[in-house]
Amino acid sequence: MIPVALAVACWTLAFGPAYAEGEREICRIRIYNAPRGSIQVSCDRGQRFVTVGRVIQPANSTIHSFAAASYVTAGTVAATAVHGLRIKVGQRGIGVGAAQEPLSFSIVPREYARTPTGYGGHLPGNSGIQTDIGAGQTIFREFAPFVGNSVYLQDASGRLSSIPTDYTPRVGDVVVIMVEKPSKFPTEIVFENRQDGAVTARYADGTTDRITDVLHPVLGIGRYDGTSYTGVGGINTNHGGVITISTAPIYRGKLQEGRGVERRGGFMIQPSNHAKTQGATPPQVMVVGSRDPAGTPMEARAPLFRGCLSPAFDPASPANSVRAQMRIDDGNWEDLPAIVGKIGDALESSYLNELFERKGIKRKVKTGVTAIRILFPSLSPAYLQARLKASERQYSYAMIQLPVIGKTGVVNGVLTINASLRNIDRAMFISFYIDGELKSMTNSPPFAYDWDTTTVKNGEHEIEVQALDSSGHLVSKSSSRVIVTNEKSKD
């Protein structure tokens, strides 16, 4: 049988913003802030959008955000992470840091619809657009935006306008995030893991730039939110005041983070001014910045804390991943080890020798991790298109079903009828019927039909989806009765 799923349809983008000089669009994300509203991605500058998820609960407020949101411009992405995107709207106060009282709303993966045990991150409450997308997937992974990317509102005609500084999300709003990378995009950034160590960026043309210094090396591993969905060496979080790198394997089970055996692990890199606001620096944090008090602040500055880092990470495609590596005792570059929990000396010789011994590796570490580097992806358009196609197919076959009363759902407005196919090898065509009348036939995903329920009378109607083989013979079918309840409907 073919389960039938119903959802609110989304606007079609008709016009885009002016293309920023020196930046290249990777993709754009479009979110319809309504129950079961579409979450879509386009990799061709808005010509075609693909549905990768749905809104479970829309946002209807903003909230006093985390302090580092003060470093970024209003109307842009304040934080990008496997466990949530934060959008800065405006601010209540003057200045930077906590005094500014930045305001934001969020887009949240399904695992964080309720607060995990031991969670220490930002709690969006009613300012969070809760989604059915998993942590570390699609818009929280390869299609995630960069810090500082612009965010727009889309009107009914498809036109985009900047988010006003006094914006409060409303049910029915359409939010568009333009994912753009700067033209000067590094291939790698190397951190010498010692006091006064250099932080050097390398670019595709072979040039290098010493962008700052290490003021405090990182020595340990900590329990950072979302790292269990990130992958060893992946970027867990980037905002104007932090880079969090995971050392934890990706967890595929259903147990919420913070429950059961500890699965979190990683370390941070922070700019010096922001680090000062956090109190004493723990061994799990590297601090970078200028020793000159008059030096340029690193907060929300590219390429570390704006515009270049994202959670993009695919073990099957290192070239299209943002990933960290290390040097031990100034040796060759190698992948980070998998380490979870809170271990203050995890990157020093004593712990690493114990780790290698447990793994049966004959290796003697004298000093520990002496350098760390972040490798940047090529962001191949062909790769992203392939990932988008795979995400489209996966979501088309795993739609969340509309809650029903018995076998009858209560519906209204414009709905998308999705066919989730089980016999995909046999089905060549999908037909959609309303009250016995053929409305649409398709042979390519997403297998869906947008039905404007205001064109029919309020009351009970029958939806039927049929799967046909290449000869037009019926493979299977599924039907569902719904009750249409529109304020204004066809007479």
pLDDT tens per residue across span 6-49: 333 332 223 334 334 467 999 999 999 988 788 999 999 999 88
Q: pLDDT digit string (tens) for 291-306?
A: 877 788 999 999 999 9
Query: What is the percent of the chain with per-residue pLDDT over 70, rounded to a whole number?
Result: 89
Which positions ≥6 away from 153 have C-beta within 8 Å?
A: 160, 161, 162, 163, 167, 173, 174, 175, 176
Q: How confident is the model at residue 328 (pLDDT cuts 50, 70, 90)?
A: very high
Question: Residue 414's CB: how many other CB atoms inside 10 A?
Answer: 14
**Burial zone of 53 (CB within 10 Å; 0-12 exposed, 13-18 middle, 19+ buried):** buried
Task: Give CA 114 to chain center in angstroms.
Answer: 18
Which of the four pLDDT bands, split at 50, 70 and 90, describes residue 86? very high
d(CA 167, CA 147): 19
Give residue 13's pLDDT: 29
User: 232-268 b/e with 16+ CB inside 10 Å = b?
Assistant: bbbbbbbbbbbbbbbbbbbbeeeebbbeeeebbbbbb
What is the predicted pLDDT for the residue at 224? 97
- Residue 356 or residue 415, greater confidence: 356
Nearest Cα residue to 73 out of 150, 128, 184: 150
Residue holding tokens 């842009």? 76
* Whether 199 contacts 212, CB under 8 Å: yes
pLDDT of residue 22: 60
379: helix, strand or coil: coil
- Tens of pLDDT, residues 385-415: 999 988 887 776 554 333 333 344 667 788 8
CA angle 233–234–237, rounded 5-degree value: 130
3-state secondary structure of 208: strand
Whole-angstrom distance, CA of residue 82 vs CA of residue 66: 17
At residue 435 the predicted structure's pLDDT band, cuts being 50, 70 and 90, is confident
Q: Looking at the chain, how many residues does it have?
A: 491
Rounded mean pLDDT of 124-131? Answer: 96
Lowest mean pLDDT among 150-159, 167-176, 452-461: 452-461
Q: What CA–CA distance (Å, rounded) separates 364 from 50?
A: 51
Can you read off the two tokens belonging to residue 29?
């994300």
Is the full-model pTM beyond 0.85?
A: no
What is the per-residue pLDDT for 406? 37
Residues 482-488 have a mean pLDDT of: 73
Per-residue pLDDT band for 457 (boundaries 50, 70, 90) equals: confident
CA–CA distance, 287 with 165 (Å, rounded to integer): 32
| pLDDT band (50, 70, 90) for residue 1 | very low
What pLDDT, on a 0 to 100 scale, did the predictor assign at position 370? 98
Backbone angles phi, psi at 66, to 5 degrees: -70, 150
| CATH architecture under which domain 402-484 falls | Sandwich (2.60)
Quote the percentage of the chain above a pLDDT of 90. 63
Q: How far is CA 200 from the centre of its chain?
A: 27
Nearest to 481 by CA among 436, 438, 440, 446: 436
Q: Give residue 397's pLDDT.
A: 52
The DSSP string of 279-347 is -SPPTTEEEEE-SSTTSPP-TT-TTTSSSS------TT-GGGS-EEEEEETT--EEEPP---S-BTTTT
DSSP symbol at 68: G
Task: Give the chain's mean pLDDT.
Answer: 87
Is residue 65 a contact partner of residue 103, using CB atoms and an 8 Å limit? Answer: yes
Q: pLDDT tens-digit profile of 366-382?
A: 999 999 999 999 888 99
Q: For residue 170, what is the DSSP state?
A: -
Q: Provide φ and ψ at 394, rounded to 5°.
A: -60, -45
Q: What's the average model confidence in pLDDT over 153-175? A: 92
Distance CA(30)–CA(24), nearest Å, equals: 18
Structure tokens that stand for 87 in this block:
């959008």
pLDDT attached to residue 432: 85
Among the residue ranges 145-154, 262-271, 447-456, the one predicted with the least confidence is 447-456
Domain map (residue ranges) of the chain: 11-183, 186-375, 402-484
How far apart CA 423 and CA 209 sit, in angstroms, is 55
